[in-house]
Structure 1
Amino acid sequence: MIPSTARPSIVIISPEHCDHLLDEFGRYARDYELHCAPDAEQACQVMRSINADGGDVALIVSDSLLPDAEVADAFEQWRALEPNARRLVFTPWERFAETVPLLRTHLARSVFDASLLMPRGVRDEEFHTAVTELLSDWGNMVGAPVVANVLIIAEASDALGLALGDYLHRTGMPFKTVRPDAPRAKELLHSLPPEERRLPLVKAPQFGKPFSPSSVRELAAMFYGRPDQIESDEVADVVIVGAGPAGLAASVYASSEGLTTHCLESEAIGGQAGTSSMIRNYLGFPRGISGMRLAQRARAQALRFGTRFWTGWPATGISRADGHFIVHTDGGDMAARTVVVAAGVTYRRLGVDEIEELVGKGVHYGAVTTAARELEGGHAVVVGGGNSAGQAAMHLARFAESVTIVVRREGLTETMSAYLVDEIEANPRIHVRGRAQVVGGGGDGRLEWITLASTRDDARERIPADGLFLLIGAAPHCDWLPDDIALDEHGFILTGAETPRSAWHDGTPPAALETTMPGVFAVGDTRSGSMKRVASAAGEGAGVVPLVHAHLDLHHR
């Protein structure tokens, strides 16, 4: 049992239904402190008291009708007090018709995370499914794990230590990072020979003794093995290179249809989408889902059908041998009758020397979710105008005192989904700097400030920055591919009718997602002309499997 002082709180606000709701939430009483207040002001007092005692509020549950405030205004007050808490509004059944239009408007602006009808009886599992999803989301993004499977010992400024933690977070692995001077760390370090006390140090039950990985990929390989562990004479039906949404969808559909399937991923399963703190416009998830959870669910689904995953080993090439393909890695080769390239993209570099020198020391490429916790009370800057940048800004605003989004355009409406633009406009902690770019930065050992330049007149301004997150466009990850695979002028893979006519056979282009190397297909962000959306990538991953079947039927059956 966790000591009561360590338990996070659920705060319920209702003028009429406190007793009923406390009874409904009784199933959570073992792990959460339950509080109930009759109005908005007394709820504020409860939250201030929890804060004064060093506690956390995980979930705020409010009646849609309060005696002393409009519910949207009340949630804004509570968000100022508890920016990390998840927010749920409920409506008694008799008030549903009159309140739902207004609540729908507030929900679209993310004033709260979910709007539900109040439970009318026991075992209302639809209601409690929403509650547990919100609590799970809070625990994953905010709450420290009660039981950490992996321990990392690293200095606060250690870029590799931060990267290892981010990798573990993206895999859904509970972990804890401690400083070398912490009692637990001292005890472990002193138990090792001096030559093995290199930082960062990782301790996990499955590894036996602690070890010091030199890279994220080395840690990933320790968890999931090496491709050369595959039987030397095994030829898979398909090897999928990349485990983002496209590669995961291809893995699920290929293995579910009986194809022997191997999926190769250079780092964490989920790709760039796996770093998104909350994806709200993916079909079937009305309350949104984090990229990590979406990726881990897809991986579990693919595993159920028989896909084998190999992480920590980027593909280094593709060649032909004995009527099939060889996918090369530094950890061994993989033989396959077909290959699906879903290697995704990487973020473009900023190209400012003093910023590049601080990567891992307050400067991050991509939305490093775990870094947000280090910014409590600080100032964060996000560079980029796409959905990934918007999601990163919303997540950072739960921790940082202020978040500035820097874009070269006038604003966000041309490049970001409308729902995210509305959420950002409604969040008082987030500010948008249009017509600006980062041209400098610095600090004493880590980032402390950046210099912005106007794209209109090059006027410059230095602003404080404790964290800089760069999400500034996509560069394809295709430099490892053979020359037989044609690329467009930007380096993305050409497929189908977009391929050069010299690659067509008797005037017929390759199949829709097939490259200029027959039997090798490309899906997702790495493909020329793709939409760069999670849903479209997953659609391409599913859609490539019939083409794989057709190729196998024609050439191998």
Structure 2
Amino acid sequence: MKKPVILAVDDDPQVLNAIDRDLRAEFRRDYRVLRADSGDGALAILRELQTRAEPLALLLADQRMPGMEGVELLEKSRALFPDAKRVLLTAYADTEAAIRAINGARLDYYLLKPWDPPQELLYPTLHDLLGAWQAQHKPAFQGLRLIGFQWSPLSHAVKSALAGYMVPFEWLDFETNPAAAKLLESTEFEAADLPVVVYADGHAVARPARADLTQYLGLLTQPSGDLYDVVVIGAGPSGLGAAVYGASEGLKTLLIEREAPGGQAGTSSRIENYLGFPTGLSGTELAHRAWTQAVRLGAEFLAEEVTNLCVQDGYKVLTLSNGSEVRTRAVVLTTGVSYRKLEVPGIDALSGAGVYYGAARTEARSCDQQDVYIVGGGNSAGQAAMYLASYARRVFIVIRSKSLASSMSAYLIEQIAGTENIEILPFAQVKEVKGEGHLEAVVLQMGEQTEERPARALFVFIGAKPSTEWVCGTVICDGKGYVLTGRDLVADPRYAASWKRPREPFALETCVPGVFAAGDGRAGAMARVAAAVGDGSTAIKFVHQYLDE
């Protein structure tokens, strides 16, 4: 396989030599480093790379170049290599232009010159960008390949599972891609067995169960220890935050997740208001970084589902869906929330076949030059609209209210207003979905008028419900299923008798001492990624206090 390319562009020979030297010193083992001294020269190299089908991973361009400024070059490069990471090299005087380019040229980062020492000011940023590129890059004839039908809910589920763990894979639609039939012939399966996963070593699995995928990923499905200090249930932002802080502070920490890391936030196509990421990042990227961080610090990750929680001799005993048990001294419930289902005629039959809950980034490319609809007016809906607008012909946001002002962040509203192929449909709601085997049309109620429109996909973001059904018989939940903690327990006469200890419950403690709740599944929690991470880290503080009793 050809090495991916890193291209550096600068008209100043001294600066170009310096960046070329630093890039080769750090990245030449895994990447081919090229250089150009002008925008036109860089475009010529990019066209040659495209002709040779060589992958471009990263393009670094100086802003102040005669003939073609760096921002212009980065913008033109998108037509040739839309998935490559783009970095602008700037002086302090050019930072305003760089910030403007974040939206205009979809800039991934900007670096101030000089970057000495590169070990601190250059390499960490480039490693992060290249890691993100590698996670999304799909090299030809290498790695995992998935053969299936575009409109198969099971195919969609497998794609979503792989994407949730940031596993690079090649999707081959059996009905439209000739390579799919040829690859299927090399296995023992036929079209009736689809979807089929073909691993890099040639081993194939038809209709893969979750256990098949977790085994391929090398994830644990059985705990390695007999007793843990704290078990975190749910790997959304709150659970990942708890795992990072628990492991870093010396607690024997186990993190259990039934699906993929990230929770509801993990389905967000782009989060732009999380502290420390000025160009934004996807929910999957954020979750993967946090997961890697937690494991590096010593947390153990278990890909399983918890079905029951009980207390035996002061220890908390968790029963898993595979029948095994986990014993722990403390528990942090970070089960989060899930999107509510849209209750309209025809929708159940089309779920996963044109109707998707959450951003469904794996389906974006299949919406190329088609009309798609988004139901909901929150930030997740806005992030999905911006992402889908890069592929779809038109994106319609269906909301019941007059505008997005009361439900969406201002920065997203501004971006949507500036995107020509996004249209907001106020005072509207979906009344029915239609299609034979896959979504073909949506029926909209707009004021007093009803209109049927063709649609390639419908993405639903209509609020959330807590994923606490399995635990509400053990801890106290409110009428909507959110877990009650701290003062909410003792202040309400209905629940005060449930607390048996002489001390008051800690702020995030449930009615079961040593069982804490954090994140969106907790009553009164703020539905923000940063707040969820803070909740998870705060829960670990109270875990320490409980264990010290």
TM-score for the superposition, normalised by structure 1? 0.82
- Correspondence for 2:431: 439
Deviations 1:46-98 (A, max 9, x none): 9889889988876665554577799878877776887655544333x3xx33x
> CA 1:81–1:183 in structure 2 vs 1: closer, same or farther (change >3 Å)?
closer
- Correspondence for 2:460: 470
Deviations 1:110-153 (A, max 9, x none): 76333333558895873465455445444544x42357432322
- Correspondence for 1:192: 188
Deviation at 1:369, TM superposition (A): 1.7
Once structures 1 and 2 are overlaid, which stretch shifts more, 388-397 or 500-509? 500-509
One of 376, 383, 391 as aligned partner of 2:368: 376
One of 346, 358, 361 as aligned partner of 1:366: 358
How far apart are the structure 1 equivalents of 2:61 and 2:222? Answer: 55
One of 308, 314, 320 as aligned partner of 2:305: 314
Counterparts of residues 397-412 of structure 1 (less than 5 Å): 397-412=389-404
- Correspondence for 1:536: 531
- Correspondence for 2:522: 527
Counterparts of residues 3-22 of structure 1 (less than 5 Å): 16-17=11-12, 21=16
> Contact between 1:501 and 1:509, CA under 8 Å: does it hold in 2?
no
Deviation at 1:510, TM superposition (A): 1.6
1:282 aligns with 2:277: no
Deviation at 1:361, TM superposition (A): 1.3
Deviation at 1:302, TM superposition (A): 2.1
> Contact between 2:435 and 2:441, CA under 8 Å: does it hold in 1?
yes
Counterparts of residues 70-469 of structure 1 (less than 5 Å): 86-91=85-90, 93=91, 96-97=92-93, 99-105=94-100, 107=102, 112-118=107-113, 126-127=121-122, 129-131=124-126, 133-141=128-136, 143-145=137-139, 148-180=142-174, 182=178, 186=182, 189=185, 191-192=187-188, 198-204=193-199, 209-213=203-207, 215-216=209-210, 219-220=213-214, 223=217, 228=222, 230=224, 234-311=226-303, 313-331=304-322, 332-454=324-446, 457-469=447-459
> Contact between 1:63 and 1:89, CA under 8 Å: does it hold in 2?
yes
Task: Give the aligned residue type for 2:273.
Answer: N
How far apart are the structure 2 equivalents of 1:60 and 1:227? Answer: 40
> CA 1:83–1:421 in structure 2 vs 1: closer, same or farther (change >3 Å)?
farther
> Contact between 2:71 and 2:88, CA under 8 Å: does it hold in 1?
no
> CA 1:303–1:125 in structure 2 vs 1: closer, same or farther (change >3 Å)?
closer
> CA 1:221–1:60 in structure 2 vs 1: closer, same or farther (change >3 Å)?
closer
> CA 1:517–1:121 in structure 2 vs 1: closer, same or farther (change >3 Å)?
closer
Task: Give the aligned residue type for 1:552.
Answer: L
Deviation at 1:548, TM superposition (A): 1.4
How far apart are the structure 1 equivalents of 2:39 and 2:297? Answer: 51
Deviation at 1:19, TM superposition (A): 9.2
Task: Give the aligned residue type for 2:301.
Answer: F
Deviation at 1:476, TM superposition (A): 0.4
> CA 1:113–1:205 in structure 2 vs 1: closer, same or farther (change >3 Å)?
closer
> CA 1:162–1:38 in structure 2 vs 1: closer, same or farther (change >3 Å)?
same
How far apart are the structure 2 equivalents of 1:463 and 1:146? Answer: 37
Task: Give the aligned residue type for 2:241.
Answer: A
Deviations 1:480-499 (A, max 9, x none): 01424111222111111112
> CA 1:31–1:256 in structure 2 vs 1: closer, same or farther (change >3 Å)?
closer
> Contact between 1:224 and 1:309, CA under 8 Å: does it hold in 2?
no
> What SS does the aligned partner of 1:271 have?
coil
Task: Give the aligned residue type for 1:314.
Answer: E
- Correspondence for 2:2: 2
- Correspondence for 2:492: none
How far apart are the structure 2 equivalents of 1:441 and 1:386? Answer: 22
> Contact between 2:135 and 2:167, CA under 8 Å: does it hold in 1?
no
> CA 1:419–1:145 in structure 2 vs 1: closer, same or farther (change >3 Å)?
farther
> Contact between 1:440 and 1:452, CA under 8 Å: does it hold in 2?
yes
> What SS does the aligned partner of 2:352 have?
coil
> What SS does the aligned partner of 1:427 have?
coil
> CA 1:416–1:113 in structure 2 vs 1: closer, same or farther (change >3 Å)?
farther
> CA 1:110–1:547 in structure 2 vs 1: closer, same or farther (change >3 Å)?
farther
How far apart are the structure 1 equivalents of 2:7 and 2:232? Answer: 43
> What SS does the aligned partner of 1:310 have?
strand
Deviation at 1:44, TM superposition (A): 8.5
Counterparts of residues 486-497 of structure 1 (less than 5 Å): 486-497=476-487
Task: Give the aligned residue type for 1:245.
Answer: P
Deviations 1:496-517 (A, max 9, x none): 1112333345785421001112
The unaligned stretches of length 5 or more in structure 2 are 490-494
Counterparts of residues 5-84 of structure 1 (less than 5 Å): 16-17=11-12, 21=16, 24=19, 27=24, 63-64=62-63
How far apart are the structure 1 equivalents of 2:69 and 2:523? Answer: 49
